[in-house]
Amino acid sequence: MKLKNDPVKFLIVDDKEENLVALEALLRRDGLQILRARSGDEALELLLVHDVALALLDVHMPDMDGFALAELMRGAQRSRHVPIIFVTAAPQEQHREFRGYDAGAVDFLFKPVDPRILRHKTETFYQLQRQKLQLEETLHLAETLMAAVGHDLKTPLNAVMLGAELILADPTSESNRRTAERLKSSSRRMQRMIDDLFDLARARLAGGIPIAPAAADLVKVARRSIAELEAATPALSITLVEQGSATGEWDADRLYQVTSNLLANAARHGATGRPITVKLAGTDDAVTLSVHNEGVIADDVREHLFDPFRSSARTTRARDEGLGLGLYIVQQIVLAHGGTLEVDSDEETGTTFRVSLPRRPAPGAS
Ligand SMILES: Nc1ncnc2c1ncn2[C@@H]1O[C@H](COP(=O)(O)OP(=O)(O)OP(=O)(O)O)[C@@H](O)[C@H]1O
Ligand SMILES: [Mg+2]
């Protein structure tokens, strides 16, 4: 792991020791490590082990000149995008054909090197690398934080939930019972938020939500979500319509997250007390799940509907509202299955979320 105070590294290549010494003296500053190479071969070796922010290459060198070295650098994955400054005595050399311009920044410096111009040309690369190192550290911190949230917070939370269950099994008074119910539902909500944050971290930092496809029936998955929502909110009216078979090779637990999130949204954000319809329609090679409710999605929400956190206006959020991660996670799970997610929302027809899943994941899909 790179630390914020890791040095930024510049590589300087010149066959003459005195030139290296002079260049190093001009570049020296806190937080910068200078790697020196006396030949192209030495430079390539250093590039194999160091993450270099900038390479200053002397053009005139025996064996391998600066342009040849640059071309080899551009040909290797590791050094392909390293910015290069050619140091040359002859301005006309700038016109020599060099085929690596597209891969990364290229600039020229003329001897004798003017310290101010040198500083000016190298400063941006120094700052960019600093920022990159800081970002890497922040990312690592975020990963560590999420692992802590995922694992360490769950244990005490489980204890709270268990305590609430125990009180509920034998409440000593009506007010005790109500308190325990509140404890239970608050802990459930907290657990769901932790799970969602963990999924967000996985989707963002690990390159996608992992799925484990196996034979599954979307009807069963949808029924489970409906039953759970109805148990929590008995006043809801939810209808399930089935057309054709809804079986396929999917990750049933992940699809349960999809149906539960879409249904919870319909119940929470749809028109209060109005019916919700879930439809499952199977064709030869795909199954479509749609969840419909009355009520419309506001235009400003619509714009960022699938963006994490941004979808629910945080400033105006009511106390019991979610993090705004639900639809982002739904979309990630659907994409991991090679499916599509669409939404229609208008005043007259209400809001419909439509998930279409191929019965089998495409070859090569995760
Ligand atoms: N079925 C729906 N009908 C109307 N509005 C909806 C519907 N589904 C989502 N929305 C709107 O889209 C926003 C984003 O939904 P999303 O599920 O991503 O977040 P959330 O429900 O606010 O929080 P979380 O799902 O993390 O608990 C909601 O806050 C709501 O404004
Ligand atoms: Mg939601």
DSSP-assigned letter for residue 239: E
The residue whose CA has the least distance to atom 2 of ligand 1 is 266
Mean pLDDT calculated for residue range 241-270: 96
Closest CA to 244 of 291, 290, 287: 287
Question: pTM of this prediction?
Answer: 0.71
Residues 70 and 115 in one domain: yes
The residue to mutate among 260, 294, 312, 316, having the most atoms of ligand 1 within 8 angstroms of its beta carbon, is 312
**160 belongs to a structural domain:** yes
pLDDT band at 313 (very low <50, low <70, confident <90, very high): low
Report pLDDT digits (tens) over 29-70. Answer: 999 999 999 999 999 999 999 999 999 999 989 989 898 999
Please say which residue of 205, 223, 248 terminates a domain: 205
Total number of domains constituting the chain: 3
What is the predicted pLDDT for the residue at 98? 67
Report pLDDT digits (tens) over 206-249. Answer: 778 989 999 999 999 999 999 999 998 899 999 999 999 999 99
**143 belongs to a structural domain:** no
Residues 228 and 175 in one domain: no
Both structure tokens of 156:
């005490």
> Which ligand is closest to the CA of 305, given by its number?
1
**330 belongs to a structural domain:** yes
What is the predicted pLDDT for the residue at 144? 81
Residues 119 and 252 in one domain: no
Q: How far is the CA of 270 from the centre of ligand 2 (A)?
A: 11
> For the chain, what percent of residues have pLDDT higher than 90?
68
Residues 300 and 236 in one domain: yes
Contact 94, 88 (CB under 8 A): yes
Residues 180 and 230 in one domain: no
Q: For ligand 1, what atom is nearest to the CA of residue 350?
A: 3
Please say which residue of 73, 105, 135 terminates a domain: 135
Residues 200 and 220 in one domain: no
Three-state secondary structure of 155-199: HHHHHHHHHHHHHHHCCCCHHHHHHHHHHHHHHHHHHHHHHHHHH
**276 belongs to a structural domain:** yes
Q: DSSP readout, 245-308?
A: --EEEE-HHHHHHHHHHHHHHHHHHS-TT--EEEEEEE-SSEEEEEEEESS---HHHHHTTTST
Residues 167 and 221 in one domain: no
**3 belongs to a structural domain:** no
What is the predicted pLDDT for the residue at 102? 67
Contact 56, 85 (CB under 8 A): yes
Closest CA to 62 of 16, 21, 100, 101: 16
pLDDT at 115 over 90: yes
Residues 298 and 340 in one domain: yes
Residues 16 and 112 in one domain: yes
Which residue ranges have their beta carbon within 6 Å of ligand 1? Answer: 196, 261, 265-266, 269-270, 293, 295, 297, 301, 305, 311-312, 321-328, 351
Mean pLDDT calculated for residue range 307-325: 67
Residues 196 and 244 in one domain: no
CA–CA dist 330, 322 (Å, integer): 14
Closest CA to 147 of 188, 206, 192: 206
Residues 224 and 193 in one domain: no
Q: How far is the CA of 62 from the centre of ligand 1 (A)?
A: 66
**118 belongs to a structural domain:** yes
**282 belongs to a structural domain:** yes
What is the predicted pLDDT for the residue at 17? 95
Angle of helix 326-336 versus helix 252-269 axis, rounded to 10: 150
The residue whose CA has the least distance to atom 24 of ligand 1 is 322
Least confident of 29-43, 64-78, 83-97, 261-275: 83-97
How many Cα neighbours within 13 Å face the side chain of 312?
18
What is the predicted pLDDT for the residue at 94? 58
Please say which residue of 101, 135, 169 terminates a domain: 135
Q: Tokens 């969840």 map to which residue?
A: 291
Mean pLDDT calculated for residue range 107-132: 92
CATH (domain of 30): 3.40.50.2300
pLDDT at 318 over 80: no
Residues 80 and 37 in one domain: yes
Report pLDDT digits (tens) over 341-350. Answer: 999 999 999 9
Question: Residue 302: which domain range?
Answer: 214-358
**313 belongs to a structural domain:** yes
Closest CA to 59 of 25, 121, 109, 10: 109
pLDDT, greater one: 150 or 292:
292
